[in-house]
Structure 1
Amino acid sequence: MGHSFAALEEQRLLLQASLDGLKTQAARNKLGQFATPSALAQEIMRCAAALMPAGAPVRFLDPAIGTGAFYAALRTVFPENQVHEAVGFEVDTHYGQPARQLWQETGLDLTLADFTRQPASPRFNLVICNPPYVRHHHLNNDDKARLQLSTIRACGTKMSGLAGLYCHFLGLSHAWMAEGGLAGWLIPSEFMDVNYGQAVKRYLLEQMTLLHIHRFDPSDVQFADALVSSALVWFRKTLPSPDHAVTFSFGGSLSAPKLIRVVPASALAREAKWTRFPATDIRNNDSLPTIADLFKIRRGLATGNNNYFILSNEEIRARALPLECFRPILPSPRYLTTDIVEADAMGLPVLEHRLFLLDVRLSEAEIECRYPRLLAYLEEGKAQGLHEGYLCSHRSPWYSQENRPPAPIVCTYMGRGDAKSGRSFRFILNLSQATVANVYLAMYPRPPLAQALKREPALIRRLWQVLNQITPEQLLSEGRVYGGGLHKLEPKELAKVPACALLSLISN
């Protein structure tokens, strides 16, 4: 055809920037519209060329083509006579109509329609897509039911009701692929860890031959306006062999990753958290002791409104509120400069700025009689509509709090790698009677440990020291990560961290 695809790609990039500028970031976030960077699209297409049979005719499909980043890469990487067909779908005419005009003379069949509603034609041997990252709560119930049914019909897998739209795009594409066809999906890496991703992983392991998952370094966000960590998933439409193994890589570039490991598919079927790879090896013994053997772990309490329910000592005095209706609470981790919280004679934390949580279960009539200043403060909260909020409206009385006793050790719930220690999570020895909010995980000793601590109270400090010797890699392999390097540990994830050294302390 003689087209200059390099020149057309330059036009596309200008067009993309112009069209993005006409939409708010919030609007694009809601629709999951995060354009693939041009350099990344070309790198992905070069990987596709290496995985395709040499010289094989290419029938290309992009179910969410946008302005055509992958199509431009296709025509740059593959010889013109090798591309026999190229089809794309785009639901948003804001991007699709200008893109169709841009590529109209290059052989691209770009349809302005919702891919999830199109009748399938199983003839494509190369499917490359960056699907819309629309979270489930932006899908109405009718759409969820329709998508679940369509995905079951397409690939035999029922996606969770919590699955994002990208999961359905991936499943629906099954019916469009030719046998032996290759697919490369640029999707959020969270499917590798979260519960709704189980169906996706089962599909990839049982109905496809999963080839390679490359996880991009979360500190190097692929999409500057999307707080997600991305993965590139390669697979073929063919049943896997019994001894099949999958390549996992991390960081660097697709052609030169920082880490790489080959994992048997049989091991992946038993592993709940795929983001452990390639940094860690296969679990060889599921009976190893974990933190859950010693501690019951609970998320800190959710107040309903921290600014209202958590007050400083100075604020309480200024309002003449009764201190006996408050209990101490640790500040947010970013304001806690120590990893050991000492206590005074009353059990209050020895901190420069003490915070207290309003937590009273007296009725308003009793409060009016005993603490009229506190009643006035509650009326201020009601005037703000706090009593009608989700959490407060489900409590009786609305100003009471969850039962979350002080825990001797707490762990931060979210964090980024500390520049000095390299640690994303902190274990804090809490010798005070302060409770914690939901930015912490509270660790309560189970009965055997509690009995040992009664006999030897100093043991808690040694346990805390051993917890802080757990490597960042061990913690991160159980947690999850988001774009920009933000890490998170849920209670069940912290509970799974190996704890052999902790148990040896108890036995000794």
Structure 2
Amino acid sequence: MDALTPIEGRRLLLQTELDAAKTSKERNKLGQFATPSELASDVLAYAQLLLPPDEPIRFLDPGIGTGSFYAALLRHFPEERIEAATGYEVDPHYGKPARALWEDYPLDLKLGDFTQVVPPADNTRYNLIICNPPYVRHHHMDKTEKARLLAATQAACGVPMAGLAGLYCYFLGLSHAWMAPDGVAGWLIPSEFMDVNYGVPIKQYLLNQVELLRIHRFDPRELQFGDALVSSAVVWFRNRKPDREHKVEFSYGGTLAAPTTSRLVTASALNGAEKWTGLAADGVRAVSQGLRLADFFSIKRGLATGDNSFFIMTRADIAARGLSQELFKPILPGPRHLETDIIEAEADGMPKLARQQFMLDCRLPEDEVKTRYPTLWAYLQTGKPKVAETYLCSRRTPWYAQENRPPAPFICTYMGRNLAKREKPFRFILNRSQATAANVYLLLYPKPILEAALQRCPELGRKIWEFLDQIDAATLLGEGRVYGGGLYKMEPKELANVPADAIAKLLPGVDDKSAAQGEMRLQKAV
């Protein structure tokens, strides 16, 4: 890293002082994660390569904070070349001290909400926009605010954002109206937009409204922000209409200047790529026409009880409270307490596990519970109002009833880390018991063709599980998503998309040609 200037040293001390005056919860809610000096320097050094060497710089940071990117701008661009520099900061806690810090510098630091400011006239727009926008999740924005942002962003960039988009998506779209023709933008944002549904409009904008230049994704195990478990990327684009065959650089790991791996992909090929996170290493994957897990399984998230500590108990807990065992059903413990990947059943269907757990599941109305099960009624009263008024419970009738999630014979963990002792962050479980599972798991329910085969040949279950367990890590990670710190997640639709031609070969009576075509002739198998 280049040596810190005196002003950057003072800014870092100020940043530390201001951050300490807020709780991490407060800063998380407002999406306030300061850009480290080294990363800011890496970004501005790369910006130098994208602009003509003698072009005057008009710099804008729509979420400037204390000015990490501006400080880096001064380190990498001569002062006489900077024609204008503007920053917006909505939080006076950071904005006022930052304005005082930079009072002797030609930075126009405005205290206000960038999303509500009218864009400038054409001749005063900016040719270098660099920003680490606030990472505020959609559920922290009310409906009125979302509606305003949706309308304003579509007017600015021509693309309607998704309802689940975070605030950073709106910042990026709104900035389009601030960019000079051929201007360059570099956005430090969560890399999840490349894989999730709400990121589709962002990708449409990058492919159709501007010339996407490069996306560099940092190694998720190397957190860029010490207080945010988010995998980060820097997205570079130029404000000009794209050539469909222009090439986009996808890089991964290391730094912008020295990535671990890099690959060029044509913009036209990106239109057919559902997920972008693996492009630096693997390029655009061919779309398989074969079978997927969705052809054999209905995949659902496990039970979300609303409050596990209230609804899930051990046998000893149930007895100590004087509750009736008949009101409970077995439920598997969490993955870290599950020491085996094959769960055998006792004679009564209970899982043969050292740690046996049970979930309260009663659908009787409360007055009937009071008459028939007075101890349960008394226990339920202890859950009012705290548990009964949680989001999930308040939407159920009665509030203590659970979702319908029968035991599934095949289970996959919903999230995990790529630990050294385990090659894959996801585990597949063969469940021969009558225990259901919570939402830390994905439940795989066989569809009719597979269900019929399993009934005729029970030993087929282990072969199916062996196939699932042997799916290579790259395939699973290619469908799932990754967050900061190397945390991987897999949603039902993502797991359903995993190739599964090999399962067809295990089923007697399935036409091989149909597997090649991605279809199954059900009448031949059932």
Aligned twin of 1:277? 279
Show CA shifts across 1:232-265 (max 9, x none): 0000001111212221111111122222222222
1:30-57 CA-to-partner distances (Å, cap 9, x unmatched) read 2211111001100111111112223322
Q: Assess if the C-alpha contact under 8 Å between 1:5 and 1:75 holds in 2.
A: no
- Superposed CA RMSD in Å reads 1.9
Moved more, 438-447 or 362-371: 362-371
Q: Secondary structure at the match of 2:280?
A: coil
Offset, 1:450: 0.8
Distance across 2 between alignment mates of 1:174 and 1:372: 63
Q: Distance in 2 between matches of 1:377 and 1:31?
A: 38
1:70-126 CA-partner distances (Å, limit 9, x unpaired): 111111112233222222222222222222222222222222222222221242111
Offset at 1:362? 3.2
Residue 98 of structure 1 aligns with which residue? 97
1:159 corresponding residue in structure 2: 161
Give 1:15 shift: 1.3
In structure 1, C-alpha distance between the alignment counterparts of 2:387 and 2:243, rounded to whole Å: 58
The 3 A distance-change label for structure 1 pair 376 and 116 is closer
Q: Deviations over 1:17-42 (max 9, x none)?
A: 11212222222222211111001100
- TM-score relative to the length of structure 2: 0.92
Higher mean Cα deviation, 360-369 or 157-166? 360-369
Q: Which residue of 2 aligns with 1:246?
A: 248
Residues 276 and 478 of structure 1 are in contact (CA less than 8 Å); yes or no, is this contact kept in structure 2?
no
Partners of 1:485 and 1:164 lie apart in 2 by: 21
Structure 2 residue aligned with 1:322, among 321, 324, 343? 324
CA distance in 2, matches of 1:124, 1:422: 47
Which position in structure 1 is the counterpart of 2:221? 219
Tell me if the contact between 1:190 and 1:480 (Cα under 8 Å) persists in the aligned partners: yes
Letter in 2 for 1:417: N
Asked whether 1:291 is paired with 2:290, we answer no
Paired with 2:58 and 2:452, the residues of 1 have a C-alpha distance of 67
Work out whether residues 249 and 261 of structure 1, in 8 Å CA contact, stay in contact via their aligned partners in 2.
yes
Counterpart amino acid of 1:429?
L
Q: What does 1:167-178 correspond to in 2, within 5 Å?
A: 167-178=169-180
1:100 and 1:341, CA in 2 relative to 1: closer, same or farther beyond 3 A?
same
Q: What does residue 40 of structure 1 align with?
A: 39
1:106-505 to structure 2, matched below 5 A, reads 106-121=105-120, 122=122, 123-382=125-384, 385-505=386-506
SS in 2 for 1:397: coil
1:162-217, Cα deviation, whole Å (9 max, x unpaired): 22111111111111111111110001112112222111111110001111111111
2:59–2:128 Cα contact (<8 Å) kept? yes
CA deviation map 1:325-361 (0-9, x unaligned): 2111100111111111111111110001211111223
CA contact (8 A) 1:58 1:125 kept: yes
- The whole-number CA distance in structure 1 between the counterparts of 2:80 and 2:60 is 17
Name the SS of the counterpart of 1:223 in structure 2. Answer: coil
2:516 maps to none
What is the Cα deviation at residue 61 of structure 1? 1.2
CA contact (8 A) 2:244 2:266 kept: no
Q: Quote the offset at 1:501 in angstroms.
A: 2.3
Can you list the C-alpha shifts for 1:405-454, whole angstroms capped at 9, x where unaligned? 11001001111112211321110110101000111100001111111111
Q: Which amino acid in the other structure matches residue 283 of structure 1?
A: R
Q: Secondary structure of the equivalent of 1:96?
A: helix
Mapped to 1, the partners of 2:394 and 2:74 lie a distance apart of 58
Deviation at 1:366, TM superposition (A): 4.3
Q: Which moved more, 1:86-95 or 1:39-48?
A: 86-95
Tell me the distance in 2 between the aligned counterparts of 1:137 and 1:393. Answer: 18
Aligned AA (2:43): I
What is the number of equivalent residue pairs in this alignment? 504
Matched to 2:18, the amino acid is L
Alignment of 1:2-81 (within 5 A): 6-81=5-80
Structure 1 residue 274: Cα displacement: 1.6
Between 1:8-17 and 1:78-87, the stretch displaced more is: 78-87
Q: Distance in 2 between matches of 1:59 and 1:349?
A: 66
Per-residue deviation, 1:373 = 3.1
Counterparts of 2:380 and 2:174 in 1: how far apart (Å)? 53
**Kept after mapping to 2: 8 A contact 1:36/1:69:** yes
Give, in whole Å, the separation in 2 of the partners of 1:52 and 1:17.
33
Instruction: State the SS of the aligned residue for 2:197.
Output: coil
The unaligned stretches of length 5 or more in structure 2 are 511-526
Q: Residue 370 of structure 1: CA displacement?
A: 4.1
Deviations 1:266-316 (A, max 9, x none): 222222222232233323234232111111101111112211211101112
Q: 1:247 to 1:325 in 2, by over 3 A?
A: same
Sequence identity of aligned pairs in percent?
Answer: 59
Separation (CA, whole Å) in 1 of partners of 2:401 and 2:271: 44
Aligned-partner residue type, residue 392 of structure 1: C
Letter in 2 for 1:413: Y
Q: Match of 2:392, SS?
A: helix
Tell me the distance in 2 between the aligned counterparts of 1:27 and 1:268: 38
Looking at structure 2, the residues matched to 280 and 198 of structure 1 have their Cα atoms a distance apart, in angstroms, of: 20
The whole-number CA distance in structure 1 between the counterparts of 2:236 and 2:177 is 17
Equivalent position SS for 2:183: strand
Deviates more, 1:190-199 or 1:348-357: 190-199
Residue in 1 that maps onto 2:515: none
Task: Give the Cα–Cα distance (whole angstroms) in 2 for the partners of residues 499 and 60 of structure 1.
Answer: 51
